[in-house]
Chains A and B, each alone.
Chain A
Amino acid sequence: MDHGAGFSAGPALKLSTRARDPRFVCLALALLSVGVTLFHPTLKLSRPVFDHIVVVDITRSMNVADYRVESRSTSRLETVKSALRSALRELPCGSRLGLGLFTERRSFLLFEPIEVCRGFEAVDTAIEHIDWRMAWGADSRIADGLYDALNQFQNYGSNLVFVTDGQEAPPLNPRYKREFGAFKGKLRGLIVGAGGLSPAPIPKFDERGEAVGFYSEDDVPHRSSFGLPPKPPSEIEGYHERNAPFGSERVIGTEHLSSLKEDYLRQLADETGLVYRRLEKPEELSLALKSPEFARLEAVAADIRWLPAGLALAALVVLYGILPFRLR
Chain B
Amino acid sequence: MNLAVDHAWVLPFLGLALLPLVRLPVTGFDAPWNALLPADAQSRVWTWLIKLMGVVAITGLVLGLAGLHREEYAVDRVGNGAHIVLLLDRSQSMDHSFAGRATSGAEEAKSAAAERLLSEFVSERKNDRTGVAAYSTGPLFVLPLTDDREAVLAAVRALRLPALAQTHIGKGLLLALSYFAGQALTGSRIVLLVSDGAAVVDPDSEQKLRKLFKEHQIRLYWIFLRTLGSPGIFEIPEYPRDDNASVRPERYLHLFFESLGIPYKAYEAENPAALRQAIADIDRIESLPIHYQARIPRLDLTPLCYGAAGFALLLLIGVKLSEAESWEKA
Q: Is the CB of A152 within 8 A of B161?
A: yes
CA distance A111 to B161 in the complex (A): 10
Q: Is the CB of A31 within 8 A of B322?
A: no
> A108's contact among B16, B54, B164, B317, by CB below 8 Å, is which?
B164
Q: Is the CB of A126 within 8 A of B321?
A: no
Q: A8-B325, A18-B320, A122-B144 are in contact. Are A137 and B165 (CB under 8 A)?
A: yes
Q: Is the CB of A121 within 8 A of B146?
A: yes
Q: Is the CB of B65 within 8 A of A111?
A: no
Interface: A174 (CB within 8 A)? no
Q: Is the CB of A27 within 8 A of B61?
A: no
Q: Is the CB of B158 within 8 A of A313?
A: no
Chain B residues within an 8 Å CB radius of A5: 24, 26-28, 47
Q: Which of A258-266, A279-287, A304-312 contacts B (4 or more CB under 8 A)?
A: A304-312
Q: List 11 A-B contacts (CB under 8 A).
A: A2-B324, A4-B31, A4-B37, A5-B28, A7-B324, A24-B317, A30-B313, A38-B307, A108-B164, A111-B155, A118-B148
Q: Is the CB of B151 within 8 A of A129?
A: no
Interface: B316 (CB within 8 A)? yes
A contact residues, range: 35 or more
Q: Is the CB of A8 within 8 A of B54?
A: no
* Closest Cβ–Cβ distance, residue B16 to chain A (whole Å): 6
B interface with A by C-beta (< 8 Å): 13, 16, 19-20, 23-29, 31, 34, 37, 40, 43, 46-47, 54, 57-58, 61-62, 64-65, 90, 132, 134, 136-144, 146, 148, 150-151, 154-155, 157-158, 161-162, 164-166, 302-303, 306-307, 309-310, 313-314, 316-317, 319-325, 327
Q: Is the CB of A21 within 8 A of B23?
A: no
Residue of B nearest to A115 (CB): B150
List residues of A (99-136) whose CB comes within 8 Å of B's CBs. Answer: 101, 104, 106, 108-115, 118-119, 121-123, 125-126, 129-131, 133-136
Q: Is the CB of B306 within 8 A of A13?
A: no
Interface: A72 (CB within 8 A)? no
List residues of A (41-80) whose CB comes within 8 Å of B's CBs. Answer: none
Q: Is the CB of B144 within 8 A of A31?
A: no
Chain A residues within an 8 Å CB radius of B150: 114-115, 118-119
Residue of B nearest to A124 (CB): B144
Chain A residues within an 8 Å CB radius of B58: 313, 316, 320
Q: A119-B148, A152-B161, A320-B23 are in contact. Are A3 and B37 (CB under 8 A)?
A: yes
Interface: A326 (CB within 8 A)? yes
Q: Is the CB of A106 within 8 A of B164?
A: yes
CA distance A194 to B236 in the complex (A): 53
Q: Is the CB of B19 within 8 A of A320?
A: yes
Chain A residues within an 8 Å CB radius of B322: 7-8, 12
Q: Is the CB of B158 within 8 A of A34?
A: no
CA distance A126 to B126 in the complex (A): 22
CA distance A18 to B327 in the complex (A): 16
Q: Is the CB of B164 within 8 A of A31?
A: no
* Closest Cβ–Cβ distance, residue A32 to chain B (whole Å): 9
* Closest Cβ–Cβ distance, residue A103 to chain B (whole Å): 9
Q: Is the CB of B324 within 8 A of A8?
A: yes
Residue of A nearest to B311 (CB): A34
Chain B residues within an 8 Å CB radius of A4: 28-29, 31, 34, 37
